[in-house]
Structure 1
């Protein structure tokens, strides 16, 4: 993997690109490969430019033979609105390039058949990335939208589940189309790769929430103010359930009641996190509140 430093951005070129280009040259498809590479590069650079605009650091961009990925610094602690903007920037660049190519054709500025391949490449790459499969752009947009209503952990798990369903659908479609023509066999490993990536992301779900909580604490300390979210829960609920319900960009207060609706107590987000670290996530709210009150009485 060859790495280039362009300003504050690391650009990594996969070592498979050179042999792919050589094979394409031998078989007369070098121009097509260069067009695909150009479209992918513009797609990923669009992520970088929008991320820079909203003060999110892109650590590096990796370019593969038929795709690329923009890796963010603290990728999982950005605001949902910023994640939508950054993720949508790639497919939007493909739409813009498609429109520009159409203008060139309409005004007879360019008449080469390669302009049509350029358009097809933008449609294919843009549409593929809009699939709601994590970590594609569509999956990131989906997670960001869901996280507005649910916590970052729940939104990640839900978007991963949706992505897995789509991966399985692509796999089934790939098997069927490969039966009709082996030209479509590439869909099978592609679906398997997407499913594998979704599984890898699932293992990070709890870590994502911890990173989000750290970011919220930093924001609160820096700004001195933050929007709040109030939750009312039964005393039999455990801390893990509360923890997974926390939303992005808000500080939480938890009102605990019994089955008769009588107030048991109120806990802050910090107390919930502290309780998990000390007593584990399975401890119930009523048991945790009793511990807190016992400590307060001793003091």
Structure 2
């Protein structure tokens, strides 16, 4: 029993889902909501199971309409391929749900009306989660693609700005060009607010990414040099750090001298020695 409890996730309900539950009671659509939540929960179990297979530290799963959020400390410090597998594991569950729907239909386990609801919402939730907006699965896959080709900070900031812009445009477009629907309005508003909240915490997320590297939790596929000027700040240097890479930092001085600084020495100077106000060229005096 203890082992089972340690494997099962802690489930929380997002406040916006509570609003939908109240709306479903008032409008007599509780059956639809129950179908949606069962599909969402199964979707999130896919993410969770794959994360546990990779021994991720998962705090909890937060459920909201048409999706959920798996809270974990592993954001940004796992291999890109590993994060991609955890992300894809959610949408993959919908293929199994289609198979179950087929079996339920063949053996007439549920009435046709319930089967139709499962089929409809399974498709809607799958397509919705593949929309390239953070923190949907499509947005996470887009971020993983960007972060495998761009520095982590640039990729992360870019996906947040893109997601806020798209969410805002979709929200305005829905209000202007389509009849007002409270549920759809709340969903796009939720995504906009989630990205706004994430944007406010962007510096913390980036520092956590750096701290994990300093602690040695950085998968390395290749070594990539970084060329910087001696008067560059630590954050300007760190802004060039990429996932799955280890960096050799080449420092250029005004007198055309060049020196080499290891990534670990740079991180130690910042987090351990706390040389926050020093320029990268000055760090060599402390390292040597």
TM-score range, shorter chain: 0.7 to 0.9
Cα deviations by residue, 1:244-292 (Å, 9 ceiling, x for unpaired): 11112333211123579x44211122333345454436x5444x25xx3
Alpha-carbon spacing, 1:139–1:10, altered in 2? closer, same or farther (3 Å): same
Q: Which residue pairs with 2:245 in the alignment?
A: 250
Q: Which residue pairs with 2:263 in the alignment?
A: 269
Contact between 1:44 and 1:90, CA under 8 Å: does it hold in 2? Answer: yes
Alpha-carbon spacing, 1:205–1:151, altered in 2? closer, same or farther (3 Å): farther
From 228, 234, 240, the equivalent of 2:229 is: 234
Contact between 2:134 and 2:159, CA under 8 Å: does it hold in 1? Answer: yes
Count the aligned residue pairs. 281
Q: Which residue pairs with 1:122 in the alignment?
A: 122
* Structure 1 Cα separation of the partners of residues 199 and 28 of structure 2: 42
Q: Which residue pairs with 1:81 in the alignment?
A: 81
* Structure 2 Cα separation of the partners of residues 16 and 154 of structure 1: 30
Please say if 1:211 is aligned against 2:208.
Answer: yes
Deviation at 1:239, TM superposition (A): 2.7
Alpha-carbon spacing, 1:294–1:108, altered in 2? closer, same or farther (3 Å): closer
Q: Which residue pairs with 2:170 in the alignment?
A: 170
Please say if 1:144 is aligned against 2:140.
Answer: no
Contact between 1:254 and 1:267, CA under 8 Å: does it hold in 2? Answer: yes
Contact between 1:148 and 1:247, CA under 8 Å: does it hold in 2? Answer: yes
Larger RCO (CA under 8 A, 6+ residues apart):
2
Deviation at 1:161, TM superposition (A): 1.3
Q: Which runs of 4+ in 1 moved over 6 A?
A: 15-19
Deviation at 1:119, TM superposition (A): 1.3
Deviation at 1:62, TM superposition (A): 2.4
**Greater Rg by CA:** 1
Contact between 1:77 and 1:208, CA under 8 Å: does it hold in 2? Answer: no
* Structure 1 Cα separation of the partners of residues 18 and 210 of structure 2: 43
* Structure 2 Cα separation of the partners of residues 21 and 199 of structure 1: 25
* Structure 2 Cα separation of the partners of residues 219 and 250 of structure 1: 12
Tell me the C-alpha RMSD between the 2 structures.
3.4
